[in-house]
Amino acid sequence: MGVTEPQITFSACFGQAFLPLHPTKYAEMLGKKMKESNVNVWLVNTGWSGGAFGVGERIKLKFTRAMITAALEGKLDKVSYATHDVFGLSMPTECENVPL
């Protein structure tokens, strides 16, 4: 298409050139598949936690691994949950090998 040099651009869902439909259509399709399959979906924070820059810190890799392992082994099925005030997501209040 005439582009001969790399150009900085925003790409919705990291694949805009390969996804001809609007990103919300893919979100709807994913939601439908999730409901049909009755699956648990986990959103794992692998970035920053504990406060703003200078207060918080990056989540340690060993804690990310512990969260993934707990989810895959069904250990998060047996803990209590809190609901996020803004997003309405259910969040485990504890996870083995991950400090509060």
Indicate the number of domains in the chain: 1
Domain that includes residue 43, residue range = 12-92
- pLDDT, average across residues 81-90: 94
Who has greater pLDDT, 86 or 9? 86
Which pTM value belongs to this model?
A: 0.68
Residue 12 has pLDDT above 70, yes or no: no
C-beta of residue 12 within 8 angstroms of C-beta of residue 18 = no
Q: Is residue 87 part of a domain?
A: yes
The yes-or-no verdict on residue 1 having pLDDT over 70 is no
d(CA 34, CA 72): 16
Is 5 a member of any domain?
A: no
Tens-digit pLDDT profile for residues 39-77: 988 989 888 888 887 888 889 999 999 999 999 999 999
Per cent of the chain over pLDDT 70 is 92
Determine if residue 51 is left, alpha or beta; phi over 0 gives left, psi from -120 to 50 gives alpha, anything else beta. left
